[in-house]
Amino acid sequence: MFQIHPSDLAERRRRCAPVVEQLSYYQRTTANYCNICGACEKAILSTRDRYGFPGRSGMCLSCGLIYNLDRFTAQSYADFYERGAYRQLIAKFKNVEQNLERIHAGQVGYAKNLLQTFGGIIPGNSQGRLLDIGGSTGLVSQEFQKQLGYRPTIVEPSAAEAAMARSLGLDAVVGSIEAWQTGDTFDLILLCRTVEHLYDLKLALTKIRSLLKPAGLLFCDLADFLEIVRREGPPEATTKIDHAYWLTQETAPPIFRSLGFEVASMQLTLPPDQVGFLLRAADRQPLKSVSLGWIHEQLRRFRQVQTDWQQFGSRPRGIKDWLHQQARRLKRRLTS
């Protein structure tokens, strides 16, 4: 039913525990209000994330934005990404080797899919400037350069990944879009697999709009929180310390409009839990509150997923899980 079994999540958290412990000294801060609409009213969805980090996630009861209430400070996040702790957590959680070559290879299919989807929609421009925010090792930017002619600049918080982008002959800056200062403007801006990692969502998107040329385009894809929960499990199995914000197919367009973007096209050719938006600059529109009915429908869905997930966890996955389950039952009987 779900991609992550409760016993599997427990095992993944055990693998992540040494990294979580190493990062426990990072300074934390609390977000008491929604970064987009400023509302204080929220529903608490979980009290620790999938890695085992203690910390609450919540859903704004006004605009529907999902965000981490208890998160690292901006400086701690900068160190978290720059020294590669983000990749360490992913490696432990997925139990795979996470190196630059693997990251680089994983971008090949993504870049081809993106260019195929928007062929003829994103115009070629041999004189155009491209800004790739969170551009990692630079492969996606390089493909845009090869096929559409854009000259890329990459802003990437990981020093090692930015260095790999430079090895491809690309301009790369180590840092965040919130802190980066430039007088340049761009014909195309990419925010690929990055919007959840922004520290200040409203500031970042406002700044991105100011960096777009009048006829420029922004591509932003997002991990749809509602779809991920449906596929993987409740918020405690899906939220992450590194995802400060989560959007959905329903909440993203109104937020984009409120910050001066309109949807030019959508991309549904990504993995099922992701959706992409091709955006252009437009007049800002007042952000209307999501209907209370829709909010309560999602909260009810989270509760139902939690119930279904717990029932899913009561069924052993295999012989190893069955033996663990029998051992737990015996322990309960002996101690009762």
Within 23-73, where are the H helices? none
Can you give the pLDDT at residue 336?
45
| pLDDT tens for each residue of the chain, 336 residues long | 899 999 999 999 999 999 999 999 999 999 999 999 999 999 999 999 999 999 999 999 999 999 999 999 999 999 999 988 998 999 999 998 867 677 767 788 888 889 999 989 999 999 999 999 999 999 999 999 999 999 999 999 999 899 999 999 999 999 999 999 999 999 999 999 999 999 999 999 999 999 999 999 999 999 999 999 999 999 999 999 999 999 999 999 999 999 999 999 999 988 889 999 999 999 999 998 889 999 999 999 999 999 999 999 987 766 665 565 566 556 545 554
Can you give the pLDDT at residue 84?
87
Number of Cα atoms under 13 Å in the Cβ half of residue 42: 23
What b/e sequence results for 32-47 when a residue is b if at least 16 CB atoms lie within 10 Å of its CB, and e otherwise? Answer: eebbbbeeeebeebbe
| 3-state DSSP assignment of residue 319 | helix
| Conformational region of residue 224, where left means phi above 0, alpha means psi within -120 to 50, and beta covers everything else | beta
Can you give the pLDDT at residue 271?
83
Can you give the pLDDT at residue 288?
85
Per the CB < 8 A criterion, the answer to whether 29 and 71 are in contact is yes
124 vs 13: CA distance, rounded Å:
45
Strand 70-72 with 129-133, pairing: unpaired
Looking at the whole model, is its pTM more than 0.85?
yes
Which domains, ranges and CATH numbers included, belong to the chain? 6-284 (3.40.50.150)
92 vs 243: CA distance, rounded Å:
17
- Residues 249-252: contacts with CB within 8 Å, 24+ apart? 249/224, 249/275, 250/64, 250/226, 250/290, 250/294, 251/63, 251/64, 251/65, 251/290, 252/222, 252/277
